[in-house]
Structure 1
Amino acid sequence: MDSLKLTKDNHQGRVFRGLAIASPCYKKLWQAGSIENFKKVWLDCLHFHYLVFTKGKVLHRDISEHNLMVLEHPDGTVTGILSDWDTANFVDTEAQDGVCVRVTAGHHHRTGTPPFMALDLLHGRDRVHHPRHDLESFFYILIWAVFHYKFLHPTNGISKAALALPHEKLVAAWLGPPDQIYTAKVKLVMSVEGHDVFQALKMDSRSEAWADVVRTWIEPLHICIRDARSGAGDDRRMASNVVLAQRRQGKKDDVEGAGKGKLGTGYDDATYGGRLTYFRFMRAIGMTKTLETWDDPINFKEDKAILRAEKKEKLRKLLETDASDTD
């Protein structure tokens, strides 16, 4: 019977949070009424997610279509409400490793709604939930909506139905077990197949109403997330190669780099080395200025500095290539 005894080692603490609200009933995301309303709600929820994390030091950890709610006002406008905070957790700022933010110790169990969970959480690579995981979930909601939501879309003053597409095989697989969801998402996010799906969405007459969302939001975010994951993978492989080279030379592991492929205390794995942040996410959809209205622009000084450094490095490589071609 001792094995059934609750201890700190076998029982993870949970915080019960309750809130009584006297307000009209909120609608589900798929009841937003129009694509423009959907975009407004999605962006409002992202805004609130940003503020709660940066100001309140709380991470939601379960972004899904069920938790992005619609509050409809008497004048017909809508506001997005980010709900369902029962798996949210405070950020442990005292446990930071360099610039890597960790969630309070004891909450390492996988959280989220499987169809919308980030790849690294589904795979099990990440045992700590980071903001980039929630940003990835916001991206999956966009793809899910294109295939499933029916809205009235105004065209030339006439409202017409934006027909939801049938379950495309890669998206339908999101309803399966975690391994199946992971495989389907990898194909969609990291391979050429994903690009083909997005191209098909723009060409399909049934998704005409969603074409602008695909072109201006989904495709740029796809590139942002894909490149961030690829870059982080390159970083890990490079770190592993450095460690192996040091060992072959009989050198001890660099204390700053560490053994077994670790990336060093200065590396921010929480953002894939600075590649997937709120700034990068909003920049991908052309809303950097909007993000700066959410907070003091100076808070994005580091993001902008990284972008300038990347541009200089790309220019340097381009000049080197041109020089070698002329030799």
Structure 2
Amino acid sequence: MEKGAVDKLLATHIVLEETDRATYEGCTKDDDLQKLFVAISSRLLREASRLLGDEGNGQNTETFWDRLHLGASSRGQHYLPDVINTWAPLPSDGTPPPLAVPKGIIEIKRLPVDQENYNEWNWSDSDNEEEPAVWSAHVSGVHDVEALKEPVNTEEPTHLNGRNPEVATGSQTSRSGTQSSGSPERSYLGLKQPVDAIKDTHDAHASVPKKQRQDEPPLHNSLLPLYATKAMASSGRYYVVGLVVDRFMVTVCYFDRFLVACFASFSFAEEPSKLALVLYAMNRCDCVHAGFDHHLRTLLDNKLPQEVHPIDQVVGPVFEYPETSTSSGASFRVTDVIQRPDELIGRATMAYKVQLCLPDGSVSEEEVSFKLGWPPKSRFSDIKVVQTLKERLPKDSQVHLPNFKFTRAFTAEDLNLPWLRLGPNHTVDSHKGRVLGGVMGKSFHKLWEAGSMENFKQAWLDCVECLYYARKVGKVLHRDLSESNLMVSKPVGDQAKGVLNDWDMAKFLDRDDDDLSEPEDQTRAWPFMALDLVLPKPSAHWFRHDLESLFWILVWAALHYDLEAGAREDTVHPTLQELVTNTRTSWQFKSAILSVGPDGGKLIREAVKPGFTGLFEEWIEPLRKLFAKARESHHLRIATDQETNRVTYDGVLTFKTFMAAINVTPRTWGIPNYLDADNDF
């Protein structure tokens, strides 16, 4: 907004009608409070438009979608925002607009409810579906909120794709292992647990709504960060703005991949002109100023991005990157969503299947992959790591590495993110630097799409040997293995090859400037993380930890994959539920499995799918025994005050012992004495 318009609204004596104020203050039911807030907001928005001579632009009516359009039963559906400020017209049937398109999201905090009055809440009409994770963080002023990375977890069954099937995000969720158009198959970051939006985990009566406190931070027990996360994940949005309304108090909140900013709260009972200003500014945002990616447009739309309605469905539209002085341009049409992030602050990697747009207006038949993410500016990019490996490794091994055809990177300044204008205390030097990086390359298949057990085993083995080759010759440690980055490349014939993907968490072992000491530099793939790394204060990351991740990937596959159908179960198997509940239960479960004795193996053996029983006997159980033996012998040496080596568990757990356990002779890649070194790892 122009400064003159801001000053005019703030200087104008906008009055909150006394009847509205009294009725609002006297509300004792949440639905009544919300209904009246929307009515007051609509009147204030119309008044601001009138004062600025803007009432005729047609956007000051029907731009508030209210959850109450769905009826009283919507009260328990915490995955739906209370109020969405969006583009007109609203859906005629009252259905919620997709979270891909809001201009702003409004959360109205519940009224205090005493324990005695809890039964007045009508929860019987609420859906009993999984609810999303909720973040709770103390936010005051403008801060980096690291706590917002980790959702609270409970112990309900988890959907592998990490999505409630009823969440409106502009895409339909596939309920099978294969993907439908626009349906993301999630990485481990999608394996988060549901939680009651108002649960206090330290309260014996955790499901009872808590009384509000005067000193309660705006985002305490708030779902607004969740909605912002989903909105940004829906179409690669750069940032989202929302309001937290606690009776009369209003707090403007800003979210992007760098930080969360909560601005000074105000009372619209005392300063209704401020609420009018906030609503007007939010309502008049065009696509660019509402944080939408201006590189994403509809296929046949040649208008400037600020002149069009935002993209509500990423499948079908086109990413268009013009040529620059340092990079060639490219355009590609999105055909499917491979992965959406569910983290707020952090890398937030998004992956798509795309087709190249050709000069004649058509698109290529071949599908390739396009990945967008926000890695730390201080880290070596995925592109740099792979380029370095290709320089160091012989060409015949490079088939197991990704191949990038197009890259592009943007800084916060390039994108003109709003937090850059928050003042001298909030500059690029006061927050963890990030860049928005995009890479396009050959599209690969997921492990469960290998097509056969033979192909699955070959792809997994290729990744094991590539991992060791990269460590031994390339001097690079991957550090972030999961089912999402062991890929399968299928050439013209039936011979599958494994591809080791996603190197943006890798560490150069021969560079002193590659420091991975910050908390974010620790991987977070709970189901696949090594036992040592699940602890709150994990050990240094060694090669044996990557070997252990490869073991857990096998276990995971044996309980979830149908290789013939090319599908993966969409919910976590009950046997492995503790792997994804929280770090404590994950550590306890892994400790039990990797203990000497038959019980751990028996637990897994009884749960594996029929097609994986042979693999269990051939690979999974021998590897489990190897890890159990290595841990036991190491702890015994510690107990008897013997010299120890944690890097390889005293030489018991190395690449050679790993391969020997599965009775596979490693390739030597034509390198003399490749496996003869005494200092194996």
TM-score of the pair, normalised by structure 1:
0.68
Q: Which runs of 5+ in 1 are unaligned?
A: 5-10, 95-102, 153-159, 243-262, 305-327
Larger displacement relative to structure 2 (170-179 or 216-225): 170-179
**One-letter amino acid matched to 2:404:** A
Cα distance in 2, alignment partners of residues 147 and 165 from structure 1? 11
1:49 to 1:165, Cα distance in 2 relative to 1, 3 A: same
Q: 2:492 aligned with 1:74, yes or no?
A: yes
Aligned-pair CA distance for 1:131: 0.2
Aligned-pair CA distance for 1:296: 3.7
Aligned-pair CA distance for 1:49: 0.4
Cα distance in 1, alignment partners of residues 498 and 674 from structure 2? 26
The higher-RCO structure (CA 8 Å, 6+ apart) is: 1
SS in 1 for 2:382: coil
- Residue of structure 2 equivalent to 1:97: none
Cα distance in 1, alignment partners of residues 590 and 670 from structure 2? 31
Contact kept? 1:132, 1:270, Cα under 8 Å: yes
Cα distance in 2, alignment partners of residues 106 and 123 from structure 1? 17
1:20 to 1:195, Cα distance in 2 relative to 1, 3 A: closer
Q: Given the alignment, which residue of 226, 245, 248 partners 2:628?
A: 226
Cα deviations by residue, 1:239-270 (Å, 9 ceiling, x for unpaired): 2xx7xxxxxxxxxxxxxxxxxxxx4xxx4311
Aligned-pair CA distance for 1:79: 0.9
Q: 2:404 aligned with 1:20, yes or no?
A: yes
Aligned-pair CA distance for 1:291: 4.3
Contact kept? 2:382, 2:502, Cα under 8 Å: no
Contact kept? 2:455, 2:496, Cα under 8 Å: yes
Q: 2:592 aligned with 1:182, yes or no?
A: no
Q: Given the alignment, which residue of 539, 553, 556 partners 1:127?
A: 539
1:23 to 1:298, Cα distance in 2 relative to 1, 3 A: closer
Cα distance in 2, alignment partners of residues 41 and 270 from structure 1? 27
Q: 2:441 aligned with 1:35, yes or no?
A: no
Q: 2:58 aligned with 1:58, yes or no?
A: no
1:167 to 1:105, Cα distance in 2 relative to 1, 3 A: closer
- Residue of structure 2 equivalent to 1:200: 606
**One-letter amino acid matched to 1:86:** D
Q: Given the alignment, which residue of 564, 567, 574 partners 1:169?
A: 574
Contact kept? 1:282, 1:291, Cα under 8 Å: no
SS in 1 for 2:503: coil
1:210 to 1:65, Cα distance in 2 relative to 1, 3 A: same
Cα distance in 2, alignment partners of residues 79 and 59 from structure 1? 21
1:74 to 1:231, Cα distance in 2 relative to 1, 3 A: same
- Residue of structure 1 equivalent to 2:369: none
Cα distance in 2, alignment partners of residues 238 and 108 from structure 1? 34
Cα deviations by residue, 1:49-99 (Å, 9 ceiling, x for unpaired): 0110000110000010000011111112211110000100111488xxxxx
- Residue of structure 1 equivalent to 2:660: 283
Cα distance in 2, alignment partners of residues 177 and 89 from structure 1? 26
**One-letter amino acid matched to 1:131:** F
Cα distance in 2, alignment partners of residues 197 and 73 from structure 1? 37
Aligned-pair CA distance for 1:193: 2.7
- Residue of structure 1 equivalent to 2:645: 268
Contact kept? 1:224, 1:276, Cα under 8 Å: yes
**One-letter amino acid matched to 2:645:** D
SS in 1 for 2:555: helix
Cα distance in 2, alignment partners of residues 272 and 295 from structure 1? 27
- Residue of structure 1 equivalent to 2:509: 91
Aligned-pair CA distance for 1:127: 2.6
Contact kept? 1:108, 1:128, Cα under 8 Å: no
**One-letter amino acid matched to 2:606:** A
Aligned-pair CA distance for 1:190: 1.4
Q: Given the alignment, which residue of 516, 520, 523 partners 1:111?
A: 523
SS in 2 for 1:65: coil
**One-letter amino acid matched to 1:302:** D
- Residue of structure 1 equivalent to 2:89: none
Cα distance in 2, alignment partners of residues 130 and 57 from structure 1? 12
1:91 to 1:112, Cα distance in 2 relative to 1, 3 A: farther
Cα distance in 2, alignment partners of residues 56 and 85 from structure 1? 13
Aligned-pair CA distance for 1:236: 1.6
More helix by share: 1
Q: Rg: which structure is higher?
A: 2
SS in 2 for 1:80: strand
SS in 2 for 1:64: coil
1:15 to 1:23, Cα distance in 2 relative to 1, 3 A: closer
- Residue of structure 2 equivalent to 1:146: 558
1:169 to 1:114, Cα distance in 2 relative to 1, 3 A: same
**One-letter amino acid matched to 1:220:** P
